[in-house]
Structure formats: C-alpha cells, structure tokens
Amino acid sequence: MATQHLEGGRQAAIREPVVEVLDEMACLSLIAGGGVGRIGYTGRFGPAVLPVNYDLHGGTIVFRTGVDSAMAADLCTGIADAEYSVAFEIDQIQPATQEGWSVLVQGSVHHVDSEAEQASLLRAGVVAWPDGQREHFIRITPTRITGRRISARVTGGS
C-alpha cells in the first residue's frame, strides 16, 4: 500500500522503502574506508555482536583486540588450524530517513600470531579501539559478501 488515507479523503505521500541487492564489488567498495563494524560470533553466553574498529587490508577485515579479552578467548577454537566462523557487518543508515546501506561479510577468523604478519599490519596503520593496550590482531577472510542498499520511493499524495 503506497498511500495513507487522511481525514477528508485526501491521501498523504508515503515513503516506500526500495531494497537493492549489492554485488561483491559494490560491497567491498563501500567498506574499503574502514571504521566501525560489528562482529557477530557465538561466545560463552551464546550469540554476541560487538562493535570494533576495522580496516580492510588485502581484501580481509582486520581489527585489534586485547590479548586477554573475552572476545579473543571466545574466538579461539583451541584446535590448531581450525578457524571459527564469524559474521562482520558494516552499515551506514540515516536514522531520520532510514535510507542507507549494509554489508555482511561471512568468513573465518584467523589469529595473527606471527611477528612478520603483525609487523605488516602495523605498517599498514591498522588502529586499535576501544581501549589502551590491544596487541591481538584478528583477521577475517571472507567466504561470502552480501549487501543491500535501501532508498525511499515517495509515492501517492493528493
């Protein structure tokens, strides 16, 4: 339904949301600048979603967390070479109009343990957030990237 009946028989214009599915290239281009994203994983209390500051680095999502953080512990399988599956979501949505986009990266978590790999990320300027000493790098290698853009089509009105 695109119109809303007002008193007196007039109809108001209605903003109808239009969803456009984004391909992988469009998604990567939207998230290339880094910033705040949200990691979704299954932790000690079930599913969890937490905001982190990320960078896109060589097609992977990279962020830092405290070595002894609950999240870092939750993301360890305890089995060598077995990697945890996680989700990483980035969006930019205007609260007033609810227009914007969201991207969902699904992939496996890799703990950056080697000094060479850590040094490469530090050189790339991957920044920590949100508290002081954050020495543990986590990298998510995407296996699936999906996204959508939501805009409003204004219809009706008389």
Q: Under a CB-based contact definition with an 8 Å cutoff, are residues 39 and 53 in contact?
A: no
With CB under 8 A as the contact rule, which of the stretches 21-29, 71-79, 100-108, 111-119 interacts with its own copies? 100-108
Strand 3-5 relative to strand 46-57, pairing: unpaired
Q: How far is CA 152 from the centre of its chain?
A: 22
With CB under 8 A as the contact rule, which of the stretches 31-39, 56-64, 74-82, 110-118 interacts with its own copies? 31-39
Give the contacts of 83 (CB within 8 A, at least 6 positions apart).
77, 108, 109, 110
| 45 is an interface residue for its own copies by CB under 8 A | yes
Q: How far is the CB of 21 from its own copies (least distance, A)?
A: 12
- Please state, in angstroms and rounded to a whole number, the distance separating the CA atoms of residues 18 and 31: 21
Residue type, 18: V
| 30 is an interface residue for its own copies by CB under 8 A | no
With CB under 8 A as the contact rule, which of the stretches 12-20, 21-29, 57-65, 111-119 interacts with its own copies? 12-20
Cis peptide before 142, with omega less than 30 degrees from 0? no
| 40 is an interface residue for its own copies by CB under 8 A | yes
Given the rule CB under 8 A, which residues bind its own copies? 16-19, 35-36, 38-42, 45-51, 53, 85-89, 91, 93, 95, 98, 102, 104, 106, 129-132, 144, 148, 150
